[in-house]
Amino acid sequence: MIAIALILLFLAGFFIVSLISEKFSLTERIGFGFPVGLGIVTFIMMIADWFGGRIATTNSMILTCIVCAVAFTIVIAAQKKKFVESLVPTFDFSWFNLLWVLLLIFLIWVEYHNFAKCMYFPTYDRDSMAGFDTIGYLAAQEHTYKGLSIFTGDYMPRMHNPGSCISYLPMLQFSYAYIYSLGAETSKAIPAFFYLSFIIAFYGMAKRTMSHTAAMFATLAMVFTPEMISFSSLSATNVMQAAMASTGLIYVCMWCNEKKKELLVMGALLLAINHWLRAEGIVFGCTAGILVLLQCVRKKAAWSNLIIPILTLIPTITFMLYSASCNLTSESAIITRLYWDAEKAGIIYDGAWKLLSQLTFYGWAFLIMLIAVIANGYYSVKEKDNLNVLLAFCLSLILYYFVLYHVDYKWDSINNVLAYSAKRFMFCYVPIAWYYTCNSKIVQSGFNWIEKTCGLK
Amino acid sequence: MANNTPKKNKAHQPLKHRKRSFGSWFVRNGVLLLAGYLFLTKVPFINPVYVWLRDNYLKSNMEIIKQYPDATYDQKMALKLGGDYNYILFLRDNTPEDAVIYYPSGGDFRATHPAIEQNPFNGKLIDKLTVVRALYPRKVVTEEEYGKTSWSKKITHVAIVNGKNRDKLPYPVGENYVNGVLPVKQPVQQTNTPKP
């Protein structure tokens, strides 16, 4: 039952991505299938819960089947033969070299160990036990999310305090409720398959703009990031958000270069799922909006394109309405007025700098990116090479710390947040850093030379 | 200008078609493979965190998996959470499903007791939400809720750690009762210390 549900989720996402465009490669569609399917199904689960639907085995399966069938019907109706033709892989191995194989072997070795660890151990990390996993488990047991016993003030008096898990965006909680409702003993299949999908998706996405070997190197380097991979086997939202936010933003950057509609729509869909995962993910949606706005102003792109990044807010707005109507709100921790607190700003600046400049949590990622930025300086200035990605990286980083600055830390200190939580926030920048590095012209030329010298033709 | 040019063109510049023998391809790729292997197995590990990642995170966890392939859910949880999880299991196994349990505070878990040389708890399960799932459908009441919520007036069992909370029971409990759980009404027997 669980295996069938996971396959159906994947197929639903596969058809939805295909629906955006049949031009997406099989790797991209296979990679994004599961996260997209899960995002859509859990969003509908919330709507169903809002109107009194029960979280139960039969309902979960029926919902997944309906989403899958509807997506399939629409994609067949809209694309007809093109869809079937797009499923046939193209074979061009002129680039094939043994370095690519070696990188792939390393990648499989790393992910095999990580996947096994993720699936073997149940949820034991504190944040998930005190939030995502427990809520998902209880929702499956009590067949409701909005009516959960732990959301009642009498049983959990602190549930409506600032920073409480009641106000977390519920994609992951619904995902866990989904898998528990199907009888799973643990919810770890969700993070395990999400991360595996992300790896495939990242490679497929990177391959659009760089050579196969460079894409494989970027993927391996990204996966082999110490803190990020170790968190990927836990049940928290951070790595999943990193997956959706980074790929979403990169697709928007690709749209800035190529102006292909499907890239913008895909980026927006992924950013919407990122919003559906974590509230502060909105900084990536804002970044995408600014990038699109710049294209409208400077490159005369159609202003109607701006609607697409705005639509990424649908999950957030819907959840706000749902939580308000179901009394799932907590005391706000956001400072909504503009203010200046030099001490707080200084602490945040120091914290951000410490995170980005140390080599422990993210390994070489940011240092190598900095070297790539400097080395690629000539092409950045002369040909504007990779500038949109660099802009997206910097802009979203500034916005992220701006959001941290505007949080009123009633439940914790800013120092604690920077020391323990903010390191997880930075995961979103690791895939972007490696993408930037391997997509910069100077690195590309190295990999192109390898493929030219050692390829099959 | 270049910014609007599809990057695909840049990345996939048409490769010059040259006839290359398999031997030539093999030699070139052999050198490339060797260089790649040396690079990948040496360079990242200049940074010790990658050594931790390879040896501690990836390999060590796999060794545990191979060592205990048939471990149950509870055994795996105990492996990660230690004595605290064993204590939760003890609570679960010694209370009915409709129990309302007074759960010890963080201070209780960290307290010392003269009868016990080393505190068996590590404080990983001191938050109410972290134990709600394992004890479900039992209800949990914490120190700060005690006497304030309606559930705290329905407590049926008191969890005792490091000898703390014996005073929450309406009957006297011997000082040798250090860790365990006792019903509020009529103690049939005092189950003694679990083995975390």
Window from A405-409, B24-28, B89-93 with minimum mean pLDDT: A405-409
Q: Contacts of residue B136 in chain A, CB cutoff 8 Å?
A: 137-138, 141
Distance CA A117, CA A97 (A): 31
Window from A43-52, B105-114, B186-195 with minimum mean pLDDT: B186-195
Q: Contacts of residue B52 in chain A, CB cutoff 8 Å?
A: 226
Window from A13-22, A67-76, A404-413, B137-146 with minimum mean pLDDT: A404-413
Interface test with chain B among A101, A231, A251, A453, by most B beta carbons within 10 Å: A453
Residue numbers of B between 165 and 194 with CB closer than 8 Å to A? none
Distance CA A336, CA A407 (A): 9
For residue B188, the model assigns a pLDDT of 58
For residue B19, the model assigns a pLDDT of 63
Angle (CA) A277 A13 A166, round 5°: 20
Indicate the average pLDDT of chain A.
Answer: 93
For the segment A42-63, the average pLDDT, to the nearest whole number, is 95
Measured between CA atoms, how close is B176 to chain A, in angstroms? 32
Residue A294 in contact with residue A303, Cβ under 8 Å?
A: no
Judged against a pLDDT cut of 80, whether residue A225 lies above it is answered with yes
Total CB pairs under 8 A between chain A and B: 163
A450/B32 CB distance under 8 A: yes
Distance CA B164, CA B180 (A): 10
Residue that wins the pLDDT comparison between B134 and B115: B134
Q: Contacts of residue A97 in chain B, CB cutoff 8 Å?
A: 29, 32
Sketch the domain layout of chain B as residue ranges.
Answer: 45-79, 82-183
Window from A169-173, A249-253, A414-418, B179-183 with minimum mean pLDDT: A414-418
For residue B18, the model assigns a pLDDT of 56
Residue A220 in contact with residue A106, Cβ under 8 Å?
A: yes
B132/A134 CB distance under 8 A: yes
Of A113, A211, A229, the CB nearest to B12: A211
For the segment A432-452, the average pLDDT, to the nearest whole number, is 95
Q: How many residues does chain B have?
A: 196
For the segment A381-386, the average pLDDT, to the nearest whole number, is 91
The pLDDT confidence band at residue A300, using thresholds 50, 70 and 90, is confident
A124/B81 CB distance under 8 A: yes
Residues 6+ apart with CB under 8 A from B125: A129, B81, B84, B85, B87, B88, B131
A209/B77 CB distance under 8 A: no
What confidence tens digit (pLDDT) does each residue in B23-63 have? 888 999 999 999 999 999 999 999 999 999 999 999 999 99
Alpha-carbon distances, residue A191 vs A237, A401, A449 (angstroms):
9, 26, 37
The pLDDT confidence band at residue A91, using thresholds 50, 70 and 90, is confident
B46–chain A Cβ distance below 8 A for any pair: no
Interface test with chain B among A129, A150, A254, by most B beta carbons within 10 Å: A129
For residue B195, the model assigns a pLDDT of 52
Q: Closest Cα partner for A188 from A126, A131, A127, A133?
A: A133
In one-letter notation, the amino acid at residue A69 is: A
Q: Residue B137: is the preceding peptide bond cis (ω within 30°)? A: yes
What are the tokens at A439?
Answer: 């997509």
Distance CA A284, CA A399 (A): 8
The pLDDT confidence band at residue B3, using thresholds 50, 70 and 90, is very low
Distance CA A197, CA A205 (A): 12
For residue B9, the model assigns a pLDDT of 47
Measured between CA atoms, how close is A343 to chain B, in angstroms? 32
Judged against a pLDDT cut of 70, whether residue A445 lies above it is answered with yes
For residue B5, the model assigns a pLDDT of 42
Residue B66 in contact with residue A113, Cβ under 8 Å?
A: no
B57/A226 CB distance under 8 A: yes
Please report, rounded to a whole number, the percentage of residues in chain A having pLDDT higher than 90: 81
For residue B1, the model assigns a pLDDT of 36
Residue A165 in contact with residue A149, Cβ under 8 Å?
A: no
For the segment A388-415, the average pLDDT, to the nearest whole number, is 89
The pLDDT confidence band at residue B6, using thresholds 50, 70 and 90, is very low
The pLDDT confidence band at residue A417, using thresholds 50, 70 and 90, is confident
Long-range contacts of A70-76 (CB under 8 A, 24+ apart): A71/A11, A71/A12, A71/A15, A71/A16, A71/A19, A72/A11, A72/A15, A74/A15, A74/A19, A75/A15, A75/A18, A75/A19
Measured between CA atoms, how close is A453 to chain B, in angstroms? 8
